[in-house]
Amino acid sequence: MNPSDNPISQTEFLSRIGWIREVHPEGNRVKIDFEGNPVGQAVWSAVGRAFTYADILLAIDNQLDCRIEFMAGDISLPILVDIYSSLLAKDELVFRAKRMTIEGKEEVILRSGDAQTRLRSNNASVRTDAVYISSTAEKVQKINAKKVTLN
């Protein structure tokens, strides 16, 4: 069916909000679903710009809204063009990567309720504050220091 033969306005197929469901094993396309999808199930889509694999996984894990355009207005030719991570309003955010770096020039704080771990660059220190702290090792738990203070 030619898009211009469709009784619905062709401009309706220029852009839709959608969601990435999976990455193709070859990494060159993604399976998406989008508002008003006439197929009723996720379909393979071209990737319209250079997203990192981490960007795609972030979108899948957190069901981030994505902008889907259609080549020549043809709804059977979807193209992923943007991932809206800046509009994220979720209770939980999942990050997956082979390696991950969180970097702060002066300080990094990981906080949840009354528990926090603070990493400071000015004195190369790590401080953890919490009501309870437990540490477990299956084999060896090693503490290397010139001085260890307990209470």
What does the pLDDT look like over 115-144, one tens digit per residue?
A: 999 999 999 999 999 999 999 999 998 888
Q: What is the pTM of this model?
A: 0.60
Residues 57 and 110 in one domain: no
pLDDT at 100 (0 to 100): 84
Mean pLDDT score of the chain, rounded to an integer?
A: 86
Whether residues 109 and 79 share a domain: the answer is no
94 found inside a domain:
no
The reported pLDDT for the residue numbered 88 is 58
The residue range of the domain holding 107 is 102-134
Give the count of domains, the chain: 2
Question: What pLDDT was estimated at residue 12?
Answer: 53
**For position 10, what pLDDT does the model report?**
45
The model's pLDDT over 91-112, given as tens digits with 9 standing for 90+, comes to 777 787 788 888 889 999 999 9
Q: Are residues 18 and 68 in the same domain?
A: yes
Name the burial class of residue 78, with classes exposed (0-12), middle (13-18) and buried (19+) by CB atoms within 10 angstroms of its CB: buried
Q: Which pLDDT value is given to residue 151?
A: 80
pLDDT band, very low/low/confident/very high, at 3 (cuts 50, 70, 90): very low
What is the pairing mode between strands 43-47 and 78-83? parallel
Residues 28, 75, single domain; the answer is yes
Instruction: Give the contacts of 147 (CB within 8 A, at least 6 positions apart).
Output: none
Asked if residue 149 is part of any domain, the answer here is no
Within a domain: residue 91?
no
pLDDT of residue 9: 44
User: Averaged over 81-85, what is the pLDDT?
Assistant: 90
Residues 34 and 64 occupy one common structural domain: yes
Q: In this structure, are 75 and 19 located in the same domain?
A: yes
Whether residue 60 sits in one domain with residue 15: yes
